[in-house]
Amino acid sequence: MNKTKIAIIGSGNIGTDLMIKILRLSNQMEMAVMVGIDPLSDGLARAKRMGVTTCHEGIDGLIAMNEWKDIKLIFDATSAKAHLYNWEKVKAFADKKMIDLTPAAIGPYLIPPVNFDSNIDVPNVNMVTCGGQATIPIVAAVNQIAPVHYGEIVASISSKSAGPGTRANIDEFTETTAEAIEKVGGAKKGKAIIILNPAEPPLVMRDTVFTLSEQADRESIKESIHRMVSEVQKYVPGYQLHQEVQFDDVPEDKPVYIEGLGLRHGLKTSVYLKVVGAGHYLPAYAGNLDIMTSAARACGDKICSLMKNYA
C-alpha cells in the first residue's frame, strides 16, 4: 500500500508519542519528517534512532527541505501561538492539510466519532483539547437523545503529564473546550475546568461530565452514551466508563441558574470516565496526552484514505 507522507511539527511529548503511534499503528501514513526547534530534544533524537528524517529549524526549515513537496499532511503539536505562525506558512500550499493539536482553533473543532464527516474537505482542523476529546463525545451522545441546555466537564490529569505546552495554554484549554462543548457537543452553554493533580504515584486521567437536558428516556440516554464510549474505544482502547451513568431530576419548581441561560430545569446526567494511556512513549497515567495523539492518528488515517479516494 502506498502511504501518504506526513510531517509532525513539535518534538515534545505529544509530537513524539504521535510519531510512534503512526510508525506502529498507521496503515495510511508514512513519517517523512519530524520537526522541532531544539536539536538536542529527545523527540528528534528518538526520531533519528527510528530512521525518521529530522529538522530542527521549525516550519521554515521543513518547507526548505526536498521532502516538503511530497508531504500532504502536517500535524502541529507545538503551542497555540506557534500554530498561528505555522499555519500562515502552510496555507499557501493548496495540496497540504493540517491537523492542529494545539488550542489555537483556527480551523473547525474535530471530534472523530461526532463530526468527522462534516469536516472532510477542511484544510485545517483542530483537535480541541485532551479534555475535549474525552468528554465532548459524551455531551454529544446525550444531545442525540435530548437537547442539552448545559454541559460542564472537569478534566483531572496528573501534574507530571502536563508539560510546558499544556501549562502555557491553560486559559486556551478552558476557552477552547467550553466553546467546543457548544459547537460540537451541542450544548447551549458549555463550561470546562482542568485540574492538575500532584498526587504521587501519579493518577490516570479522570473526566467528569455533567449535562442538564430536557427530560428523556433514561435508558435511551444510557445506551447512547455506551455506544459512544465503544466508538471512542476503537482508537483509544484505554477509554472507559469509571462507573455507571447517573441521573437526577432538576424539578421545575427548583430550577438551577445557568449563567447566560437563566433558570433551567430538566434531567441531570453525570458520567465518570477514566483514560489509561497506551504507553507507546509516555507512561500509562498520561491518558490526557494519549487521547489527543490517538484521536489525531485516527483522523489522519481517515483523511489520508479520503485523499487517495479523491485522487
* Chain centre distance of CA 121: 19
The active-site residue, picked from 55, 130, 299, 304, is 130
- The x, y and z cell numbers of residue 237, run together, are 482502547
Measured CA to CA, the distance from residue 14 to residue 288 in angstroms comes to 10
- The x, y and z cell numbers of residue 53, run together, are 528524517
Return the closest-CA partner of residue 61 out of 86, 43, 40: 86
Does 130 participate in catalysis according to the annotation? yes
Could you give the C-alpha distances from 64 to 37, 43, 52, 59, in angstroms and in order?
15, 21, 17, 9
Return the closest-CA partner of residue 9 out of 70, 40, 54, 48: 54
Q: Which residues are catalytic?
A: 130
